[in-house]
Amino acid sequence: MTALILAGGRGSRMGGVDKGLQNFMGLPLALHTLTRLQMGGGVGQIMINANRNLAAYESFGVPVWPDVLADYAGPLAGFLTGLERCETPYLLTVPCDTPLLPLDLAQRLAQALEAEDADIAMAAAPEAGKDGHMQVRTQPVFCLLRTGLLESLVRFTQDGGRKIDAWTALHRTTVVAFDAPGDDPQAFFNANTLAELQQLESRAT
Protein backbone atom coordinates (compact mmCIF):
# COMPACT_ATOMS: atom_id res chain seq x y z
CA MET A 1 0.00 0.00 0.00
CA THR A 2 1.19 3.49 -0.90
CA ALA A 3 -0.07 6.56 0.98
CA LEU A 4 -0.66 9.98 -0.55
CA ILE A 5 -0.89 13.15 1.56
CA LEU A 6 -3.11 15.72 -0.17
CA ALA A 7 -1.53 19.16 0.24
CA GLY A 8 -2.35 20.65 -3.15
CA GLY A 9 -5.21 22.99 -2.26
CA ARG A 10 -5.33 26.77 -2.40
CA GLY A 11 -5.90 27.10 1.34
CA SER A 12 -8.48 29.75 0.49
CA ARG A 13 -10.35 29.39 3.80
CA MET A 14 -7.03 29.94 5.57
CA GLY A 15 -6.40 33.17 3.72
CA GLY A 16 -4.50 31.54 0.87
CA VAL A 17 -1.66 30.15 2.98
CA ASP A 18 -0.15 26.74 2.21
CA LYS A 19 -2.14 24.72 4.72
CA GLY A 20 0.22 21.75 4.96
CA LEU A 21 3.08 24.01 6.08
CA GLN A 22 1.15 25.72 8.92
CA ASN A 23 2.55 24.97 12.37
CA PHE A 24 0.78 22.62 14.74
CA MET A 25 2.51 21.81 18.03
CA GLY A 26 5.71 23.25 16.57
CA LEU A 27 5.78 21.21 13.35
CA PRO A 28 4.13 21.60 9.91
CA LEU A 29 0.70 19.98 9.63
CA ALA A 30 1.74 17.76 6.72
CA LEU A 31 4.73 16.48 8.70
CA HIS A 32 2.39 15.43 11.53
CA THR A 33 0.29 13.54 8.97
CA LEU A 34 3.39 11.89 7.53
CA THR A 35 4.56 10.83 10.99
CA ARG A 36 1.14 9.37 11.88
CA LEU A 37 1.17 7.30 8.70
CA GLN A 38 4.67 6.03 9.47
CA MET A 39 3.74 5.19 13.07
CA GLY A 40 0.56 3.39 12.09
CA GLY A 41 2.16 0.83 9.83
CA GLY A 42 0.59 -0.99 6.90
CA VAL A 43 1.95 1.62 4.48
CA GLY A 44 5.04 1.25 2.32
CA GLN A 45 5.92 4.34 0.31
CA ILE A 46 4.45 7.74 1.21
CA MET A 47 4.07 10.57 -1.31
CA ILE A 48 2.89 14.16 -1.03
CA ASN A 49 0.70 15.94 -3.57
CA ALA A 50 1.54 19.68 -3.48
CA ASN A 51 1.35 22.53 -5.98
CA ARG A 52 3.62 25.11 -4.35
CA ASN A 53 6.57 25.28 -1.94
CA LEU A 54 7.70 21.92 -3.34
CA ALA A 55 11.18 22.21 -1.81
CA ALA A 56 9.70 22.61 1.67
CA TYR A 57 7.66 19.43 1.23
CA GLU A 58 10.62 17.58 -0.31
CA SER A 59 12.58 18.35 2.88
CA PHE A 60 10.29 15.83 4.65
CA GLY A 61 12.16 13.10 2.78
CA VAL A 62 9.39 11.69 0.57
CA PRO A 63 8.52 12.16 -3.13
CA VAL A 64 6.43 15.25 -3.94
CA TRP A 65 4.21 15.46 -7.02
CA PRO A 66 2.12 18.40 -8.26
CA ASP A 67 -1.36 17.93 -9.76
CA VAL A 68 -1.52 16.44 -13.23
CA LEU A 69 -4.62 18.63 -13.78
CA ALA A 70 -4.31 22.42 -14.02
CA ASP A 71 -5.88 25.17 -11.91
CA TYR A 72 -6.12 23.56 -8.45
CA ALA A 73 -8.79 21.10 -9.57
CA GLY A 74 -9.46 19.75 -6.06
CA PRO A 75 -8.83 16.48 -4.22
CA LEU A 76 -9.65 14.29 -7.24
CA ALA A 77 -6.70 15.89 -9.03
CA GLY A 78 -4.58 14.62 -6.14
CA PHE A 79 -6.18 11.17 -6.36
CA LEU A 80 -5.34 11.12 -10.08
CA THR A 81 -1.74 12.19 -9.47
CA GLY A 82 -1.33 9.51 -6.79
CA LEU A 83 -2.86 6.71 -8.87
CA GLU A 84 -0.58 7.59 -11.79
CA ARG A 85 2.51 7.41 -9.56
CA CYS A 86 1.43 4.47 -7.38
CA GLU A 87 3.44 1.27 -7.87
CA THR A 88 1.51 -0.86 -5.36
CA PRO A 89 -1.96 -2.45 -5.70
CA TYR A 90 -3.55 0.07 -3.30
CA LEU A 91 -3.41 3.82 -2.70
CA LEU A 92 -4.41 5.39 0.64
CA THR A 93 -5.35 9.08 0.44
CA VAL A 94 -5.34 11.42 3.44
CA PRO A 95 -5.53 15.23 3.69
CA CYS A 96 -2.64 17.24 5.13
CA ASP A 97 -4.75 19.00 7.77
CA THR A 98 -5.76 16.16 10.13
CA PRO A 99 -2.71 15.79 12.40
CA LEU A 100 -4.52 13.36 14.75
CA LEU A 101 -5.64 10.82 12.12
CA PRO A 102 -6.12 7.25 13.45
CA LEU A 103 -2.98 5.16 13.65
CA ASP A 104 -4.97 2.11 12.52
CA LEU A 105 -6.53 3.89 9.52
CA ALA A 106 -4.71 1.86 6.86
CA GLN A 107 -5.37 -1.50 8.53
CA ARG A 108 -9.09 -0.93 9.09
CA LEU A 109 -9.72 0.35 5.58
CA ALA A 110 -7.74 -2.56 4.11
CA GLN A 111 -9.67 -5.12 6.16
CA ALA A 112 -13.00 -3.69 5.01
CA LEU A 113 -11.90 -3.49 1.37
CA GLU A 114 -10.92 -7.14 1.39
CA ALA A 115 -13.93 -8.33 3.41
CA GLU A 116 -16.40 -6.55 1.11
CA ASP A 117 -14.41 -7.18 -2.09
CA ALA A 118 -14.81 -3.44 -2.72
CA ASP A 119 -12.92 -1.07 -5.02
CA ILE A 120 -12.88 1.76 -2.48
CA ALA A 121 -12.94 1.85 1.33
CA MET A 122 -13.92 5.25 2.73
CA ALA A 123 -13.67 6.40 6.34
CA ALA A 124 -16.61 7.84 8.28
CA ALA A 125 -16.49 9.59 11.64
CA PRO A 126 -18.70 11.46 14.11
CA GLU A 127 -19.26 15.07 13.15
CA ALA A 128 -21.54 17.76 14.53
CA GLY A 129 -24.38 18.64 12.18
CA LYS A 130 -25.94 22.08 11.78
CA ASP A 131 -28.29 21.27 14.65
CA GLY A 132 -25.35 20.40 16.90
CA HIS A 133 -26.16 16.69 17.02
CA MET A 134 -23.34 14.27 16.30
CA GLN A 135 -23.75 12.13 13.19
CA VAL A 136 -21.41 9.67 11.54
CA ARG A 137 -20.48 11.25 8.22
CA THR A 138 -18.29 9.98 5.42
CA GLN A 139 -14.84 11.52 5.11
CA PRO A 140 -14.32 11.15 1.35
CA VAL A 141 -10.71 12.34 1.25
CA PHE A 142 -9.78 9.39 3.50
CA CYS A 143 -9.95 6.58 0.94
CA LEU A 144 -8.24 3.33 0.16
CA LEU A 145 -8.36 2.82 -3.60
CA ARG A 146 -7.48 -0.07 -5.87
CA THR A 147 -4.96 1.32 -8.35
CA GLY A 148 -6.92 -0.29 -11.19
CA LEU A 149 -9.35 2.64 -10.80
CA LEU A 150 -6.93 4.96 -12.62
CA GLU A 151 -8.58 4.52 -16.01
CA SER A 152 -12.02 5.30 -14.56
CA LEU A 153 -10.75 8.46 -12.85
CA VAL A 154 -8.96 9.64 -16.00
CA ARG A 155 -12.26 9.36 -17.93
CA PHE A 156 -14.25 11.03 -15.14
CA THR A 157 -11.92 14.04 -14.87
CA GLN A 158 -11.54 14.37 -18.64
CA ASP A 159 -15.33 14.70 -18.79
CA GLY A 160 -15.09 17.57 -16.31
CA GLY A 161 -15.95 15.64 -13.14
CA ARG A 162 -14.49 17.12 -9.96
CA LYS A 163 -16.65 15.82 -7.06
CA ILE A 164 -15.25 12.89 -5.08
CA ASP A 165 -18.69 11.54 -4.13
CA ALA A 166 -19.85 11.51 -7.75
CA TRP A 167 -16.84 9.43 -8.77
CA THR A 168 -16.80 7.02 -5.82
CA ALA A 169 -20.54 6.39 -6.41
CA LEU A 170 -19.57 4.75 -9.73
CA HIS A 171 -17.67 2.02 -7.87
CA ARG A 172 -18.23 -0.57 -5.18
CA THR A 173 -17.49 1.48 -2.04
CA THR A 174 -17.52 0.29 1.56
CA VAL A 175 -17.74 2.81 4.40
CA VAL A 176 -15.72 2.21 7.58
CA ALA A 177 -17.01 3.99 10.70
CA PHE A 178 -14.40 5.17 13.21
CA ASP A 179 -16.87 5.62 16.04
CA ALA A 180 -15.96 2.75 18.38
CA PRO A 181 -15.51 3.52 22.12
CA GLY A 182 -11.72 3.65 21.80
CA ASP A 183 -11.68 5.91 18.73
CA ASP A 184 -10.54 9.51 19.21
CA PRO A 185 -13.48 11.81 18.35
CA GLN A 186 -10.92 14.45 17.23
CA ALA A 187 -9.09 12.08 14.86
CA PHE A 188 -10.71 13.41 11.69
CA PHE A 189 -11.04 17.04 12.76
CA ASN A 190 -9.57 19.10 9.94
CA ALA A 191 -8.49 22.68 10.43
CA ASN A 192 -9.91 24.87 7.66
CA THR A 193 -9.05 28.19 9.29
CA LEU A 194 -6.17 29.39 11.45
CA ALA A 195 -8.64 29.78 14.33
CA GLU A 196 -9.70 26.12 13.98
CA LEU A 197 -6.05 25.12 13.92
CA GLN A 198 -5.41 26.99 17.18
CA GLN A 199 -8.58 25.42 18.64
CA LEU A 200 -7.35 21.92 17.70
CA GLU A 201 -3.93 22.64 19.17
CA SER A 202 -5.43 23.77 22.48
CA ARG A 203 -7.48 20.54 22.67
CA ALA A 204 -4.45 18.38 21.90
CA THR A 205 -2.24 19.89 24.62
Instruction: Count CB-CB contacts under 10 A for residue 107.
Output: 15
The answer to whether the CB of 78 falls within 8 A of the CB of 93 is yes
Q: How many CB atoms lie within 10 A of CB 142?
A: 25
The domain 2-204 having CATH identifier 3.90.550.10: the answer here is yes
Q: Which of 100, 101, 125, 95 is nearest to 24 (CA)?
A: 100
Task: Look at residue 72 and tell me whether its pLDDT is greater than 80.
Answer: no
> How would residue 185 be classed by pLDDT, with cut points 50, 70 and 90?
confident
Q: pLDDT digit string (tens) for 73-121?
A: 689 999 999 999 999 999 999 999 999 999 999 999 999 999 999 999 9
| pLDDT tier, 205 (very low <50, low <70, confident <90, very high otherwise) | low
Residue 15's pLDDT is: 64
The C-alpha angle 135, 136, 138, rounded to 5 degrees, equals: 130
pTM of this structure: 0.93
Domain boundaries, the chain: 2-204
Return phi, psi of residue 27, to 5°.
Answer: -130, 155
- As a whole-number percent, the residues of the chain with pLDDT over 70 amount to 96
Query: What's the rounded Cα separation, in Å, for the pair 154 and 149?
Result: 9
Rg, the chain, Cα only: 16
Taking only the tens place, the pLDDT of each residue in 3-52 is 999 998 766 566 678 889 999 999 999 999 999 999 988 899 999 999 99
Measured CA to CA, the distance from residue 162 to residue 33 in angstroms comes to 24
